[in-house]
A and B are shown apart, each in its own frame.
Chain A
Amino acid sequence: LAKTTQPISMDSYEGQEVNITCSHNNIATNDYITWYQQFPSQGPRFIIQGYKTKVTNEVASLFIPADRKSSTLSLPRVSLSDTAVYYCLVHGIRGATNKLIFGTGTLLAVQP
């Protein structure tokens, strides 16, 4: 499984756009990139998943360059409730490759 590297923490203010970048130099051809959000005392929650280029849903956007060695989670106009830990994961989606190995994640602190 590809190892991921992301910042330990980030600070932002309400209303700003936040971009969290994840490095995954050893990503395999069949790997997907998935981001999860976790609030204290809760299980992680799926945010977005992509393979290449750009993916957007109602919550976030995910930008993946052509070489796929990194990805950027973009959260538009964050609010205080977006304060959480954000995990970047790289994994397959079939059989034994579809298991999640979590790193330490990025603690995003949103200030008023």
Chain B
Amino acid sequence: NAGVTQTPKFQVLKTGQSMTLQCAQDMNHEYMSWYRQDPGMGLRLIHYSVGAGITDQGEVPNGYNVSRSTTEDFPLRLLSAAPSQTSVYFCASSPAGPFGYGYTFGSGTRLTVV
């Protein structure tokens, strides 16, 4: 049981390049989210999904796209990387139910845009 797996762990991009951050969970969780965390700050929600085929924007969605074609995977796409997107990105998943048991977070992807 791997939990939430994020790849890659580190990435350096040039301004204008595109890339996809991968997130996979093997817990059959319905809810998945993407966050970014800048130095010394809290996490900010980028996009989230309440199930396969359903996504919505969070607090800071500009410059990012997501899709949820399967329960397990929730990739985050950077369309045209900018230095302002330099950050640590966390993916998280949570089960549904009458009582939430909390989100499980991945170990993060550290992205630098130069």
By the criterion CB–CB under 8 Å, are A44 and B101 in contact? no
Contact of A102 among B4, B42, B88, B94 (CB under 8 A): B42
* CB of A43 closer than 8 Å to a CB of B: yes
| Stretch of A14-22, A61-69, A70-78, A90-98 contacting B (4+ beta carbons < 8 Å) | A90-98
Chain A residues numbered 18-36 whose CB sits less than 8 Å from any CB in chain B: 32, 34, 36
By the criterion CB–CB under 8 Å, are A104 and B105 in contact? no
Which residues from A are CB-within-8-Å of B98? Answer: 93
Q: A98-B50, A104-B41 are in contact. Are A43 and B101 (CB under 8 A)?
A: no
By the criterion CB–CB under 8 Å, are B42 and A104 in contact? yes
Bound Cα distance A95, B56 (Å): 11
Bound Cα distance A89, B15 (Å): 35
Query: Is chain A's binding surface mostly helix, strand, loop or mixed?
Result: loop
Bound Cα distance A43, B37 (Å): 10
By the criterion CB–CB under 8 Å, are A102 and B100 in contact? no
Q: A98-B94, A99-B45, A102-B44 are in contact. Are A45 and B50 (CB under 8 A)?
A: no
Bitwise interface map of A from 72 to 112 toward B, beta carbon under 8 Å scored 1, else 0: 00000000000000010000011110111111110000000
Which residues from B are CB-within-8-Å of A41? Answer: 88, 108
Q: A32-B100, A41-B108, A46-B103 are in contact. Are A95 and B50 (CB under 8 A)?
A: yes
By the criterion CB–CB under 8 Å, are B43 and A44 in contact? yes
By the criterion CB–CB under 8 Å, are B58 and A99 in contact? yes
Closest residue on chain B to residue A95 by CB atoms: B50
By the criterion CB–CB under 8 Å, are B56 and A103 in contact? no
Give the distance to chain A from B62, nearest Cβ to Cβ, in Å: 17
Top-7 shortest CB links A-B? A43-B105, A46-B102, A93-B100, A102-B42, A102-B43, A43-B90, A99-B48
Given A44-B90, A49-B99, A100-B33, 18 other A-B residues pairs in contact with their CB atoms under 8 A:
A32-B100, A41-B108, A43-B4, A43-B105, A43-B108, A44-B105, A45-B105, A46-B102, A93-B97, A95-B50, A96-B56, A98-B96, A99-B31, A99-B45, A99-B58, A101-B59, A102-B42, A104-B41
